[in-house]
Amino acid sequence: MAKFRVLNPEGYPPKVNARGMAPSLDGLDGKRLFLVDVGFANSDNFMAQLRGWFEEHRPSIRTEVVRWRNQHIPDPELCERIRADGDAAIIGVGT
Amino acid sequence: MGVHLNVFAHLVRNTVKTHGMPSARQVFVPTPLMNSSPAVLRGYVEGDDPVHERPFMVEVFDQLTRPVPDDELRGEGWDRSTPRYVEADGEEEMHALFQVHRYTDFLPVVLPTEERVERMLAGTSHPPDEMVGKLRPTIGMEHWHFDVERVAVNAVMAGAAPEYFPVILALASSGDTGRQSSMSSMGNMVVVNGPIRHEIGMNSGIGALGPYNHANSTIGRAFGLLSQNLQGGSVPGETYAGSQGCNFSYNCITYAENEEASPWEPYHLKYGYSVDESTVTVSYIWGNVWAEYLRTFWEEKLVAMISGLEPGMGCTLVLDPIVAREFVEKGFDTKEKLARWIHENAKIPQRRYWDHVMLNLIHEEVESGVEPFASYWNAPPDELIPVFEPDRINVVVAGGETNGHFSIFMGSPMRAKFRTNAGQKAAVSIDAWR
């Protein structure tokens, strides 16, 4: 039996290009973590609490809270600084 | 590593997958974040990741240090396509399939057969394979592209007539979406100006903003449907994050300005067009307050109405012609003078101005010293700050003069820096799509 056929209402999705991830660290002791506040409400306070946890429980891990300039757009200057000076970054809070 | 709220787990997985790194490191905390005290936030850190169901910090350490296989480190890319046709056993099955695929707004649609789409395509001189534009659910997500034919498919589904198609193509080309994925659940307002209003029989009079006109109803619905289908979806929890959703989204508040009854210049002249040109302007809208006539204490009331809105988002006054003429009698012989008066008189304390999501939206301007926001940021807490800048105060005339009523909607066209098409005006030419 012939199928009933209509036109597809969807748009054209872009090709997905593979993006590489950074390799894992062999441990966090002595490493420097950037805690990136992306700017959504209360993200700054969450990062402060996260930093507090590291200072209390794992003081050998150096942490610094930094702020993303615009919550909607990547901050290239900050990313470059993290790449140069840091070992890893925890970015949030995504809402 | 990303930290997210648990309610966005599906959205996060979709996003990293379409960005080519499906194994990106992610951890989750409970909802809500906003207004949670430091003690609650510490509890999030010391408690469980509700998605991975393990202690949050254990998950953090594990993901940062656990060896990742080489193929996952490389990420994953692939080609995607959406076929030209959708097939089912019959019409009933096709309607069901459209709902399963979430192509609809869950109201009945007109199935886009080749014959119907061909008739729609006759409403424009542009070829079916001409690319129209790109859309995405929100900033940070991927853009999907589309051509004239795919827009026509959605116009058919909405029940639109071919003569409306240039308006619908203009909306599709705008880069504005009628299915914005904002947690704030914004909707839209679509204002049509120029000669096309009469050519296609749009309503700008009695009931202009209601369900009383075929063109108003179906153009607005088409904008919503084309947005969700051409941008890659609007699925709650995946490609839509509005906590409450917005009933405006069914029709995107689509109407024509009552230029003939207005004492002022048409709305689209604000964006550099002439009265002989036809345009459509999209705003992002959160809600409205209502009032009638400019009574004895109208100034106090207008200031109170504006001051209750969230600063920075902009506002759009939709005035019945009776009210517009009342404003003229009080000396506001241009829309700009009315906007300036509101800017100068509707003010709130600095501390309240910044106690708002607005802080996130324009913090970059504050850091960069952009005025007036830098001065607003540095002002004392009790100093009064204008709720809106003049260019974010819009005035449109619509209504049939059954009484002197008006609404003030919170919202405005998208800020220039967030527009999909850089440099594009908020009002888009319809004539370009005839």
- Domain membership of residue A20 (yes or no) is no
DSSP 3-state assignment of A71? coil
- Domain membership of residue A3 (yes or no) is no
Among the partner-chain residues B90, B144, B357, the one whose CB lies closest to the CB of A4 is B90
Does residue B365 register a pLDDT over 90?
no
B17 near A CB under 8 A: yes
* Total domains in the fold of chain A: 1
B60 near A CB under 8 A: yes
User: What's the DSSP call for residue A16?
Assistant: B
> Which residue would you say has higher pLDDT here, B104 or B23?
B104
pLDDT at B15: 85
pLDDT at A72: 72
ipTM: 0.93
Partner-chain contact B363 A70, CB within 8 Å: yes
Mean per-residue pLDDT, B402-417: 91
- Neighbouring CB atoms inside 10 A of B274's CB total 10
For chain A, positions 21-60, list CB contacts with chain B under 8 A: 21, 23-28, 39-43, 45-46, 48-50, 52-53, 57
B345 near A CB under 8 A: no
Paired tokens of B173 = 């080309």
Kindly report the average pLDDT of chain B as a whole number: 94
> CA dist B74 to A84, B12, B22, Å?
22, 19, 10
Taking only the tens place, the pLDDT of each residue in B52-83 is 999 999 999 999 999 988 888 888 888 888 99
- Domain membership of residue A4 (yes or no) is no
- Domain membership of residue A36 (yes or no) is yes
Partner-chain contact B3 A3, CB within 8 Å: no
Q: What percent of chain B has pLDDT over 70?
A: 99
Among the partner-chain residues A21, A24, A53, the one whose CB lies closest to the CB of B45 is A53
pLDDT at A1: 67
Paired tokens of B264 = 């002022």
- Domain membership of residue A21 (yes or no) is no
- Domain membership of residue A87 (yes or no) is yes
Does residue B361 register a pLDDT over 80?
no
Partner-chain contact A10 B1, CB within 8 Å: no
A66 near B CB under 8 A: no
pLDDT at A82: 94
Q: At what angle do helices B148-157 and B165-173 cross, to 10 degrees?
A: 120
Calpha distance B357→B143 (Å, rounded): 25
pLDDT at A69: 78
pLDDT at B358: 63
- Domain membership of residue A73 (yes or no) is yes
Calpha distance B266→B186 (Å, rounded): 25
Q: Which of A1, A16, A29 is the best residue to mutate to test the B interface, defined by the most B CB atoms within 10 Å of its own CB?
A: A16
Shortest Cα–Cα distance, A85 to chain B (Å): 16
A76 near B CB under 8 A: no
Q: Quick one: how many helices (H) and strands (E) in chain A?
A: 2, 4
CB neighbour class for A35 (10 Å; exposed up to 12, middle 13-18, buried from 19): buried
Partner-chain contact B77 A20, CB within 8 Å: no
Among the partner-chain residues A3, A21, A70, the one whose CB lies closest to the CB of B89 is A3
Among the partner-chain residues A8, A26, A93, the one whose CB lies closest to the CB of B86 is A8
Among the partner-chain residues B146, B231, B360, the one whose CB lies closest to the CB of A39 is B360
Partner-chain contact A48 B33, CB within 8 Å: no
Taking only the tens place, the pLDDT of each residue in B378-403 is 999 999 999 999 999 999 999 999 99
B149 near A CB under 8 A: yes
Interchain CB contacts (distance < 8 Å): A and B: 217
Q: For every residue of chain B, which 3-state class applies, written as one string?
A: CEEEEHHHHHHHHHHHHHCCCCCCCEEEECCCCCCCCHHHHHHHHHCEECCCCEEHHHHHHHHHHCCCCHHHHHCCCECCCCCCEEEECCHHHHHHHHHHCCCCCCCCCCCCCHHHHHHHHCCCCCCCCCEEEEECCCCCCCCEEEEHHHHHHHHHHCCCCHHHHHHHHHHHHCCCCCCCCCCCCCEEEEEEECCHHHHCCCCCCCCCCCCCCHHHHHHHHHHHHHHHHHCCCCCECCCECCCCCCHHHHCCCEEECCCCCCCCCCHHHHHCCCCCCCEEEEEEEEEEEEEECCCCCHHHHHHHHHHCCCCCCCEEEEECHHHHHHHHHCCCCCHHHHHHHHHHHCEEEHHHHCCCCHHHHHHHHHHHCCCCHHHHHHCCCCCEEECCCHHHEEEEECCCCCCCEEEEEEEECCCHHHCCCCCCCCEEECHHHC
Partner-chain contact B75 A20, CB within 8 Å: yes
Does residue B210 register a pLDDT over 70?
yes
Mean per-residue pLDDT, B252-270: 98
pLDDT at B281: 98
φ, ψ (nearest 5 deg) of residue B394: -110, 145
> Which residue would you say has higher pLDDT here, B360 or B328?
B328
User: Which residues in chain B are contacts of A28 at CB distance < 8 A?
Assistant: 61, 64-65
Q: Which of A3, A8, A26, A69 is the best residue to mutate to test the B interface, defined by the most B CB atoms within 10 Å of its own CB?
A: A8
Name residues of chain A where pLDDT drops below 50: none
Expressed as residue numbers, the domain containing A74 is 32-92
Beta bridge partners of B283: B189
User: Which residues in chain B are contacts of A32 at CB distance < 8 A?
Assistant: none
Residues 6+ apart with CB under 8 A from A80: none
Partner-chain contact A26 B103, CB within 8 Å: no
User: Which residues in chain A are contacts of B132 at CB distance < 8 A?
Assistant: none
Partner-chain contact A6 B86, CB within 8 Å: yes
Helix H or strand E encompassing A78: helix A76-85
Nearest CA in chain A to B355: A41
Rg (CA), chain B: 24
B41 near A CB under 8 A: yes
User: Which residues in chain A are contacts of B84 at CB distance < 8 A?
Assistant: 7-8
User: What's the DSSP call for residue A70?
Assistant: B
B416 near A CB under 8 A: no
Dihedral of the alpha carbons of B91, B97, B99, B102, in degrees to the nearest 10 = -130
Among the partner-chain residues B82, B139, B147, the one whose CB lies closest to the CB of A13 is B82
Q: What percent of chain B has pLDDT over 90?
A: 81
User: Which residues in chain A are contacts of B21 at CB distance < 8 A?
Assistant: 18-21
Q: Judge whether B186 and B251 are in contact, CB under 8 Å.
A: no
Nearest CA in chain B to A49: B42
Taking only the tens place, the pLDDT of each residue in B183-192 is 889 999 999 9
Mean per-residue pLDDT, B144-169: 98
Shortest Cα–Cα distance, A73 to chain B (Å): 7
- Domain membership of residue A67 (yes or no) is yes
User: Which residues in chain B are contacts of A86 at CB distance < 8 A?
Assistant: none
